[in-house]
Structure 1
Amino acid sequence: MHSFAVDHRQGVAMSYQGYRQHTVLITGASSGIGASFARSLAARGASLVLVARRRDRLEELAAELRADHDVAVLAVSVDLASPAAVATILDALRTAHVSVTALINNAGFGTFGEFGSEEPARLAQEIAVDVSAPVQLSHAFLPEIVTRHGFLINVASMAAYTPTPRMAVYGASKAFVLSFTESLWAETQGTGAAVFALSPGATSTEFNAVVGTEDATAGAKPRTPEAVVLTALAHLESRNPGPSVIDGAANRFTATAIRFASRRTTARMMHWVTDPARRAGLPKAAATPERG
């Protein structure tokens, strides 16, 4: 079993050598952006704690990373929608004698449909995974991240920048993550820790499959998880990382352009963008809201 090691000397600007001094906990690590983060950080020499629901996928990825990169990897299978999820993670870390010095809150999912038709229990799970878990995990690990000059990356979304009709709870949760993380960035200035929000747009992951419809990304051309992770790590490795970074030039342009539109205009525009009838070429009256 490889040992988990940390170092007190690293500052905000991260180097390849610097990653070797950190143990990074990644949620939603079994696929998509989370798995890409795991592979990229293992290649840079970081020790890892992989968190997701699907134990078989976690164990398979952990074995791959140990074999390919000779790094320490701990897999923790837990459903972040469970009220006991964070306690379960902390217990697993104590049992394994692992100290987390960096955190990537990547896990999240969305639902699609008119708000009034959504299932309350599913919405509660969405809030637990997308909002409550990042807050609790950030609170649990931020003191050590600051002490060890590590990093905290919270994955938000382009949905954080606009109202998102038919995905009202998801969009609101990502707006929360963006605001929350930018506040933590300000609070941790001068500590040597790096804190920022990462906002991808449409990405080639299992997101739409979980939501249950391609309408969730409105037909946008997806970027790859690897491209998203490269954006995040380039930001992390910059001399003075800002409070947030958007993946993709087109997404950055969109986020900037939206600032010049009124909230009324933006909400109406996004209601049109997410309309299933628009993508299907059907008359508006024929649209049937889809549910996640």
Structure 2
Amino acid sequence: MKSSRRIAKVAKIDERVLVLGASSGIGRSIANLYAERGARVCVVGRRRDKVDEVAAECRSKGTQGPAKRILGVYADFAHVEDMVRLRTTLETEWQGVDTVIVAAGVSALQPLLAVAGLEASANGSKFTPSQATTKGIQNAVDVSAAATRGNYVGPLVAAVTFIPLLTSTSVSPSILLVSSLAAVIPAPTRTIYASTKVASLLLYQALSIEHPSVNFTMFMPSTVEGDFRASAVDAGPVREADPNKHGLKREDVARRCVEAVDTYEKTVFMPRVMRLGHLLYWLWPTFVEWRARKKYNFTA
């Protein structure tokens, strides 16, 4: 573990942490880690039962004290009124926030033309039917809009809502965006997912230049274990291997996220070797594309 410069400014027990997308996956694990080390944690998600469940977990692990140390808020981070209501809650209960974790998002698992209702031949040169129908094209538009809302609009609303609160109430304002390796290395069957994830990644990279007083961390893991596929905004067969057998462990990813915030890291790849994979794509794209096809069992 690297030494933390930030803890010298914001003690663990004083840190006020907002976790957007805390009801499952990486966000849930991050919320529990912060609670274990004594921070005040606000658990946010769209499913009330899951929010209550995670908030109860955090209370059982966190520092004993007023219930206000752990907050559970049912909200959609792409909904403006929900985020303004959440901001008011943080101002009222904690008088601000120190750390914002943007871990919410949605998945999309199908090739773009498959979303439009087309089945490609083995080499991808012919389709059945031969042309996309109006209904099929509209479905591709609708699915991409849903993915954009979850993977880009939500992070945008979060940034606009909470950057001013962070800068005015914290001595060390920090934001971590949980992005994806797919945002920087293209992969088959991830066209909609990857393109919407890279949009929010570039958004936060640009925001980090516009707001140098805020510590931004962009976190890009490879496939992570869990049920993230359940959030898919498209439909159809899943081609890749089961992430629960081969994916990164959620707890390991969460620990690395917390460490990155503590040590002011800017860009984090997990596993670390993927930083070289990102560079390799520009040096030897055909090799990376071959590896991507193999991982996702894509033959076209």
TM range (shorter): 0.7 to 0.9
Q: Is the 8 A contact 2:19 2:43 kept in 1?
A: yes
Shift of 1:13: 2.4
Q: 2:275 aligns with which of 245, 249, 252?
A: 252
Give secondary structure in 2 for the equivalent of 1:164.
coil
Q: Is the 8 A contact 2:204 2:216 kept in 1?
A: yes
Give the equivalent residue in structure 2 for 1:146: 167
Q: 1:223 aligns with which of 213, 237, 248?
A: 248
Between the aligned partners of 2:162 and 2:241, the Cα distance in structure 1 is 32
Between the aligned partners of 2:289 and 2:59, the Cα distance in structure 1 is 49
1:14 aligns with 2:37: no
Shift of 1:235: 2.1
Q: Is the 8 A contact 2:77 2:158 kept in 1?
A: no
Shift of 1:29: 0.3
CA pair 271-257 structure 1, distance change in 2 beyond 3 A = closer
Give the equivalent residue in structure 2 for 1:109: 106
| AA aligned opposite 2:185 | T
1:137 aligns with 2:161: no
| AA aligned opposite 1:186 | I
Q: Deviations over 1:104-133 (max 9, x none)?
A: 110011112232443333322211111011
Q: 2:259 aligns with which of 234, 238, 243?
A: 234
Q: 1:89 aligns with which of 82, 86, 91?
A: 86
Alignment of 1:162-181 (within 5 A): 162-181=185-204
Q: Is the 8 A contact 1:182 1:243 kept in 2?
A: no
Give the equivalent residue in structure 2 for 1:65: 58
Between the aligned partners of 1:116 and 1:75, the Cα distance in structure 2 is 40
Q: 2:47 aligns with which of 45, 54, 69?
A: 54
Q: Deviations over 1:194-225 (max 9, x none)?
A: 21111111111211233365435787921111
CA pair 31-246 structure 1, distance change in 2 beyond 3 A = same
Give the equivalent residue in structure 2 for 1:5: none
Give the equivalent residue in structure 1 for 2:33: 40
Q: TM-score, normalised by structure 1?
A: 0.77
Give secondary structure in 2 for the equivalent of 1:252.
helix
Structure 1, unmatched stretches of 5+, are 1-10, 279-283, 285-292
CA pair 270-218 structure 1, distance change in 2 beyond 3 A = farther
In the comparison of the two structures, how many residue pairs are matched?
A: 263
Between the aligned partners of 1:88 and 1:73, the Cα distance in structure 2 is 17
Between the aligned partners of 2:80 and 2:113, the Cα distance in structure 1 is 25
Between the aligned partners of 1:137 and 1:253, the Cα distance in structure 2 is 30
Between the aligned partners of 1:16 and 1:55, the Cα distance in structure 2 is 34
Give secondary structure in 2 for the equivalent of 1:249.
coil
Shift of 1:46: 1.4
Give secondary structure in 2 for the equivalent of 1:14.
helix
Shift of 1:66: 1.6
Give the equivalent residue in structure 2 for 1:6: none
Give the equivalent residue in structure 2 for 1:128: 149
Give the equivalent residue in structure 2 for 1:8: none
CA pair 268-224 structure 1, distance change in 2 beyond 3 A = closer
| AA aligned opposite 2:51 | L
Give the equivalent residue in structure 1 for 2:224: 203
Q: TM-score, normalised by structure 2?
A: 0.76
Give the equivalent residue in structure 1 for 2:76: 79
Structure 2, unmatched stretches of 5+, are 116-138
